[in-house]
């Protein structure tokens, strides 16, 4: 590699790293300053183009986020002035943005961080349908692609993209403010915000597709947002969701081998689990239960805590887990909760008990396109000694799985079953 090529590679890495670290924070501030999602996204792109030109020569500034916000804002003003030849309103907007910029607004890191919280509540405004709230926040605040979000929603990407476009238009037409609601309005807005955080964490903890099992950037972002929400509104379900995320995150070091292969919970080296995250999660669960306002996130956290407290897989109290799932089924019934409960029943009462419940779900048509349904079915058949049925179920799971480590795990299970007769 020549010196010029090495320098180019290093500068590309600098910009890519800066984009990962700063882009969502900068976009949130640009959306507030410019008052328009699409203009802010264009400004973000232009700011990073400018950074790619200047930073390799001049060095990264001391406050990269503030530099990018400033560059993006003035790029947007220039763009509006060029458009003013065709639309006089663009000139008025450019003049107002220039006046705001000349006031010398503080761009400290705290201010930019707060803009992410403002944007979250804007995207989760009650005038928007809840699916649009979640999709828009995942796209704008967390940077998930339309394809990633569509998998979380089990929706087609074109339909999901239209949902996001309509949500942006609604915010513009309704003049929804970029602000954190008054304290009296926070509780009614909390459910949508927590659901967004939950989906972001899930995508980070177990990516739906791709080469890696996890995306630490997304799970870390979700935990950070969870902490922000806890500071703002320390209600039981906020505590429960943060506890749930921390307990799952504590197991990350043990979930894969050094070369990225899946390690099932029963086979994980529990000495690798993060004890500090576990302790924080346990404390939050205790605080949530003390309120006596126990919701679905707190119940899921309590289930995770039973796993976390077991010294070995054999020590797991599956009876307690089934009992907690019974309560969760009453609080927030769903096919996925039923599937998880079926797995717990199979661990408590044997594979045929679990198999009966999973087969019932499949016969009803629930989760017919969910690879983990067939993976659970296959594992119960395998444990029950029904090799041919297990092979068919693993093949069905493999056909539906999109994540490469999971696909390799399922292929390994098939190899372990031997050749079909």
> Mean pLDDT by 10-residue block, N- to C-terminus, for the chain (421 residues)?
47 80 88 86 92 89 89 82 56 48 49 76 87 85 80 76 92 85 78 85 70 69 87 89 96 87 90 96 97 94 97 95 97 93 96 95 87 94 93 93 86 83 52
Total Cβ atoms within 10 A of residue 300: 23
Please report the pLDDT score of residue 5 as a whole number: 45
Query: Between the CA of residue 395 and those of 261, 346, 405, what are the distances in Å?
Result: 19, 21, 15
Please report the pLDDT score of residue 262 as a whole number: 84
Query: Between the CA of residue 379 and those of 6, 388, 393, 417, what are the distances in Å?
Result: 49, 12, 9, 11
For 149-274, strand residue ranges (E) read none
* C-beta pairs of 19-23 under 8 Å, 24+ apart in sequence: 19/48, 20/217, 21/64, 22/64, 22/65, 22/68, 23/48, 23/143
**Region label for 273, one of left (φ > 0), alpha (ψ between -120 and 50) or beta (otherwise):** beta
Q: Could you tell me which residues are beta bridge partners of residue 210?
A: 403
Please report the pLDDT score of residue 85 as a whole number: 54
Q: How far is CA 348 from the centre of its chain?
A: 31
Q: Could you tell me which residues are beta bridge partners of residue 256?
A: 262
What DSSP character marks residue 234? Answer: -
Q: How many CA atoms does the CB half-sphere of 127 hold within 13 Å?
A: 13
Q: How far is CA 275 from the centre of its chain?
A: 23
Close Cβ partners of 252 (under 8 Å, ≥ 6 residues apart): 205, 214, 216, 219, 274
Query: Between the CA of residue 371 and those of 152, 252, 266, 376, 393, what are the distances in Å?
Result: 14, 22, 20, 9, 9
Cα 265 from Cα 270, distance rounded (Å):
9
Q: Are 355 and 378 in contact (CB under 8 A)?
A: no
**Selection from 205, 217, 204, 229 nearest residue 284 by Cα:** 229
Joined tokens for residue 407: 């696909």
Please report the pLDDT score of residue 140 as a whole number: 86
Please report the pLDDT score of residue 84 as a whole number: 57
**Selection from 50, 80, 79 nearest residue 67 by Cα:** 50
Q: Are 209 and 151 in contact (CB under 8 A)?
A: yes
Query: Between the CA of residue 318 and those of 96, 315, 345, what are the distances in Å?
Result: 62, 9, 8
Q: Are 357 and 351 in contact (CB under 8 A)?
A: no
Q: Are 347 and 318 in contact (CB under 8 A)?
A: yes
For 158, the 3-state DSSP assignment is helix
For 148-291, strand residue ranges (E) read none
Q: How far is CA 133 from the centre of its chain?
A: 14
């Amino acid at each position: 590699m020549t010196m010029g090529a090495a320098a180019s590679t290093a500068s590309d890495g600098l910009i890519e790293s800066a984009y990962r670290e700063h882009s969502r924070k900068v976009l949130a501030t640009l959306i507030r300053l410019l008052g328009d999602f699409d203009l802010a996204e264009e400004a973000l792109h232009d700011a990073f183009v400018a950074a790619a030109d200047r930073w390799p020569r001049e060095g990264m500034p001391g406050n990269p986020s503030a530099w990018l916000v400033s560059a993006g804002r003035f790029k947007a003003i220039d763009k509006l002035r060029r458009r003013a030849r065709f639309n006089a309103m663009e000139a008025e907007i450019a003049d107002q943005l220039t006046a705001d910029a000349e006031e010398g607004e503080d761009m400290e890191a705290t201010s930019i961080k707060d803009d992410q919280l403002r944007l979250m509540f804007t995207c989760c405004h009650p005038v928007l349908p809840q699916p649009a709230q979640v999709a828009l926040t995942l796209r704008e605040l967390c940077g998930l692609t339309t394809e990633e979000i569509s998998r979380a929603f089990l929706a087609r990407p074109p339909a999901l993209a239209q949902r996001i476009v309509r949500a942006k238009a609604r915010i513009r037409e309704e003049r929804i403010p970029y602000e954190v609601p008054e304290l009296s309005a926070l509780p009614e807005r909390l459910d949508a915000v927590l659901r967004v955080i939950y989906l972001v964490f899930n995508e980070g903890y177990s990516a739906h597709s791709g080469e890696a099992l996890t995306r630490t950037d997304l799970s870390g972002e979700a935990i950070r947002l969870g902490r922000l929400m806890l500071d703002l509104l320390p209600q039981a379900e906020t505590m429960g969701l943060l506890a749930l995320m921390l307990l799952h995150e504590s197991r990350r070091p043990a979930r894969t081998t050094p070369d990225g292969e899946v390690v099932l919970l029963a086979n994980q080296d529990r000495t690798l689990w993060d004890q500090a995250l576990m302790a924080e999660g346990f404390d939050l669960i205790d605080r949530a239960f003390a309120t006596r306002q126990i919701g679905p996130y707190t119940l899921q956290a309590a289930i995770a805590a039973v796993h976390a407290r077991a010294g070995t897989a054999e020590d797991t109290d599956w009876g307690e887990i089934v009992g907690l799932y019974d309560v969760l089924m009453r609080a927030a019934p769903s096919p996925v909760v039923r599937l998880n409960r079926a797995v717990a029943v199979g661990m408590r009462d044997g594979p045929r008990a679990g198999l009966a419940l999973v087969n019932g779900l499949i016969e009803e048509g629930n989760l017919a396109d969910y690879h983990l349904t067939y993976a659970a079915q296959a594992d119960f058949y395998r444990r029950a000694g029904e090799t041919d049925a297990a092979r068919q179920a693993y093949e069905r799971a493999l056909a539906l799985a999109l994540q490469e480590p999971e696909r390799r795990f399922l292929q390994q299970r098939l190899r372990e079953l031997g050749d079909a007769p």
